[in-house]
Amino acid sequence: MTRQLLALVCIFVIAPLTAAEGVPRARDLGIPFAGTPGKLNAITDVPGVTVGHVTLIEDLADGKAVRTGVTAILPRGRQSIDTHAYAGWFSLNGAGEMTGTTWIDESGFLEGPVMITNTHSVGAVHEGVIQWRVAQGAADYTDYYWSTPVVAETWDGWLNDINGFHVRPEHAMQALDIASSGRVAEGSVGGGTGMICHDFKCGIGTASRIARIDRSDYVIGVLVQANYGSWELLRVAGVPVGQYLKEADVLPENTDYEQGPSSIIIVVATDAPLLPHQLKRIAVRAALGLARNGSIASNGSGDFFVAFSTANEAVARGIADARITAISNDSIDPLFDATVNATEEAIINALVAGRDMAGHEGNQVRGIDHGKLREILRIHGRLDE
């Protein structure tokens, strides 16, 4: 049955280069953030990083609806196949899944893409990544195909027919194929299609920061799939916005809304040369950016963060006599600061990009009201105008 439904699914592949045009981001609304963003204020400001979204939106029979997808982040674009990347990860609250993490801990390397999808599609995407790798031809420099792909998830069962298993391996392959540099679509795209944060429509968000260390500029790029939190706890730019909202401002009418397991996946990319244990430190800092927006990492929230560096390319290709470079621990704070700031903004970008959506069994979710949000910030002296 799953097969048959699949044939009906209309796939909107939202091209990163055009989708974001004309859509206001958090800064466009005047929300203030600390630090200096890169050119696109996106994870793709880190040279080489590519992102691909496959978005599945379709209304099926019997009130069933597909509102889901998959997002691929490649550290070095298609070259990620043969040139790995030093990486580290952190689980702030393990109520969910990010596969492939034990090998990151053990080897220090992310050996391929990071994939983000819905909770029940982890298996399909996992298989898709391996199939895609096999389809590329020869095995990588280790003489081996990726066997432990990194696949993370958040739960979209309120808007999406999650037990319909609509994401298939080929969707993962497609997301990998179309991944590109440049602007990154935000909101209800890719893995973020059916996601909700602070009870508002949410999904994918991204941001970046420039960190200056010893006269060199490095980029920190962050991409989130945000699906966590309750409206009461929402904080934006430090203002406890949730305290100034009423339930009627948030919840859709005529619907028995109940937030399911919430979560957030945060991917941090950098071109700064960092060793694996240092990248784990970067991943941990994502928690501090998340906290600024009001998260308490609630029981059912799967909050997983992974960080990778695109430096040390020769080493990552397994070249035997390659020399490694690394920023010293004593110089690392600007990267920590950049990570916290970019994470804070990427989440608010995901929130601001959310639009009203109806989905599975008629369930609805609202996008946050930009005007009301701005008004609350204005009265707190926290709006750039």
Taking the least distance from each CB to a copy of itself, the nearer of 184 and 224 is 224
Cα(79)–Cα(90) distance, rounded to whole angstroms?
25
Nearer to a copy of itself, 14 or 347 (CB): 347
Q: Compute the least distance from the CB of residue 363 to a copy of itself, in Å.
A: 16
Contact 145, 139 (CB under 8 A): yes
Minimum distance from residue 339 beta carbon to a copy of itself (Å):
8
129/82 Cα distance (integer angstroms) = 14
Q: Which residues pair with 221 in a beta bridge?
A: 208, 269
Identify the bridge partners of residue 208 per DSSP, sorted by sequence position: 221
CB 230 within 8 A of CB 245: no
Residue with tokens 């009265």: 379
Q: Which residues are known to be catalytic? A: 263, 301, 303
Instruction: Find all residues with CB under 8 Å of 61, minimum gap 6, and list them.
Output: none
- Which residue, among 253, 337, 335, 263, has the nearest Cα to 295 in the 3D structure? 263
State in angstroms the smallest separation of the CB of 340 from a copy of itself: 5
CB of 355 to a copy of itself, least distance (A): 26
In the complex, least distance from residue 239 CB atom to a copy of itself, rounded to whole angstroms: 6
d(CA 203, CA 190): 8
CB closer to a copy of itself out of 10 and 324? 324
**Nearer to a copy of itself among residue 17 and residue 379 (C-beta):** 379
Q: In degrees to the nearest 10, what's the CA dihedral of 372, 375, 380, 383?
A: 110
| Residue number with CB closer to a copy of itself (24 or 94) | 94
